[in-house]
Structure 1
Amino acid sequence: MATTSIDLKEEILRLKKERNAVILAHNYQVGEIQDIADYVGDSLGLAYKAQETDCDVIAFCGVHFMAETAKILNPDKTVVLPDKDAGCSLEQSCPADQLEAFLKENAEKNYYVIAYINCSAGVKALCDVICTSGNAVKIVNNAPEDRPILFVPDANLGAWVMEQTGRKMDLWQGSCYVHVEFTRDSINKIKEEYPDALVVAHPECTTAVRLLADEVCSTEKMVDYCKNAPVKNIIVVTESGMLHRLQKEAPDKNLIAGPTDKCACNDCRYMKMNTMEKLRNCLRDLAPTVEMPEEVRARAEAPILRMLEQSK
């Protein structure tokens, strides 16, 4: 007999209690997973929750680098993610060995390396401090004035931060494949349908799209923006999973998924690899787990803790 969604939810909750587990979910997860999670948020919020948890098991519904971050902060806890292949195009755009080679070749520059959290533990271990889209401006403003900054791996976020801070940075040429699919034409087209709508966009979008936005901010800050917007229609230019959270938090607003030239909304294929069945399985089997060498974990922890301290 097929398992119903109600049965699956009950099984997940039972296993969560048995395992003394906490379920963390990113804003881009499918609605069902968001609804059953103990906490839903962006990378910064999830990092704090991972640091604070007193459970034995962390079931991380997001992509691999997020679960890695939870393990870095909780070496003695079991960290599982529903699908071990849930990766990230930004993480893939900056392999640790390539960054290490680049830093050796440019050792005379003595770069202060700021890494967007969307990167591997190996990259984090090579950096001075981590940032998220929610705190990147603050982190860059806190960077030492006497050292050149290398910002990895997202060039679009880095360009936006330079605009906000006035700090010159060298940018690693990585990008999120989801956010670069939004174009000036696709956003202008939807604005023609909703001429009174405000546009809120994620800073991983290209400059052309950011220039059309009334607000550029992290997914967490989108919640307050949409709640407090003076209009009903809001075009949300980020991964489509965010709409589920926003519709719950701002039910009086008409939230419109930002389209691309190819489709009416934009899913991250990696975020959507996680399912309720896989969440149940990872809690049941305590696998797949996230593991890494202790030397890498310890080196990666320092810049994350530096970020969390500077973000208070």
Structure 2
Amino acid sequence: MCSDISVDEFKPRPDVALNALYEPLRHTLERSSACLEWELQLPWIDAIQRLKQHRRALILAHTYQAPEIFHGVADITGDSLALAQAAASAEAELIVLCGVYFMAETAKILAPGKRVLIADALAGCSLADAISAEDVRQLRRQHPGVPVVSYVNTSAAVKAESDACCTSANAVQVVESMGTQRVIFVPDRYLGSHVAAHTEVELILWPGSCEVHERFTARQVREARRQPDTRVLAHPECRPEVLQEADFVGSTHAMAQWLARERPAEVALITECAMSDNLRAQFPEVRFASTCQLCPHMKRITLPGIHHCLLSLEHEVKLDEAVSAAARRALQAMLKVGRPTRP
């Protein structure tokens, strides 16, 4: 697996000269993380950067990745839609996805001629596990002629059974693009409820949920308002009572756009912890309240894991061609709708 390169050449090196080379990155990470382990992280970051260049690889990292990955080794960062668009337009022959498995599948579906690896093959998703392809087929039998929109947080097999995919950023627009009075929306019931409140299309929902966002409570949101000027931003995968307490509800990308536009004195992001960490570097003048939840699946991705993936070329995503082709049509329908111009 590693016979094409010298393993020793790409080992992490505890070289004091690295500190000067990566000084700008250290300052970025110091603004992002209160638990910076720079002396341990730097050799891995450097080894990954060198190995990535040798492999001519492109690293895609989701917003929920830890700062040392998000800022330290990723070439492209963003939410699910941004990563899907990046995969579709990628020129690199090798893509390494730092996120959960459905994201790596999405990259492979949209870049079928590329070699797509995931940094940890066990990085799953409670939403993707909440529904199967057979579940979708059963829904179609129960509701003949009603189109299916599946959240991008689903397996390739579920996407293949769908008419279109969506992200939290463009779910309303995708649902309305179906041109029907009713739409089957799977699998997140909370996102589905939020979408239903913003469209006249009747949604048939599935009882799935994100184990991270579902943990937030309305009481936590109220407690997050430590000061009168604290603004609360919530992800639409949260419970309705949580969303009702928020000043703004939107995708991770929309939250970042809102921060750039509004520049509040203090903000509480009701979503995965790493997002606040990563945005601190971009908005140093904003105070970030500590209310958040960790995603155990996203946190399976580590610097040593990325290094091993690049070195060994393990954890390659392989899909059935028929499933991939059907899923690609659903994803292309999502990409055709694109992202709303303003959240």
Please state which band the TM-score falls in when normalised by the shorter chain: over 0.9
Q: Trace 1:178-193 onto structure 2 (pairs within 5 A).
A: 178-191=212-225, 193=226
* Aligned with residue 153 of structure 2, among 102, 105, 118: 118
Instruction: Normalising by structure 1, report the TM-score.
Output: 0.93
User: 1:7-60 deviations in whole A, cap 9, x for unaligned?
Assistant: 211211111111110000000011111012001100000100011110011000
Select the structure of larger CA radius of gyration. 2
Show the counterpart of 1:32. 68
Tell me what 1:310 maps to.
Answer: 337
Cα distance in 2, alignment partners of residues 236 and 166 from structure 1: 29
Identity score, percent: 38
Partner residue in 2 for 1:155: 189
1:130 and 2:165 are equivalent in the alignment? yes
In 2, Cα distance between equivalents of 1:6 and 1:179: 31
Classify the secondary structure of the residue corresponding to 2:324.
Answer: helix
1:42 maps onto 2:75 in alignment: no
Residues 1:23 and 2:59 are matched in the alignment: yes
Q: Post-superposition shift, 1:222?
A: 0.8
Other structure's SS at 1:58 match:
strand
Query: Which secondary structure state, in structure 1, belongs to the residue aligned with residue 53 of structure 2?
Result: helix
Amino acid aligned to 1:256 = A
Aligned residues between the structures? 302
C-alpha contact (below 8 Å) 1:25/1:62 kept by paired residues: yes
Unmatched 5+ residue regions in structure 1?
A: 259-264
Whether contact under 8 Å (2:12, 2:46) holds in the other structure is no
- Corresponding residue number in structure 2 for 1:199: 232
Deviation at 1:183, TM superposition (A): 0.3
Structure 2: how far apart are the matches of 1:240 and 1:53?
28
> Which moved further from structure 2: 176-185 or 244-253?
244-253
SS of 1:211's equivalent?
Answer: helix
Q: How many angstroms apart in 1 are the aligned matches of 2:91 and 2:264?
A: 41
Contact 2:65 2:298 (C-alpha < 8 Å) held by counterparts: yes
User: 1:209 is matched with which residue?
Assistant: 242
State the match for 1:73 in structure 2. Answer: 110
What is the CA–CA distance in structure 1 between the aligned matches of 2:170 and 2:224, rounded to whole Å?
29
Q: CA RMSD in A?
A: 1.5
TM-score between the two structures when normalised by the length of structure 2: 0.85
2: CA distance, partners of 1:311 / 1:190:
33
Contact 1:226–1:246 (8 Å) recurs in 2: no
Q: Structure 2: any 5+ residue segments left out of the alignment?
A: 1-10, 14-39
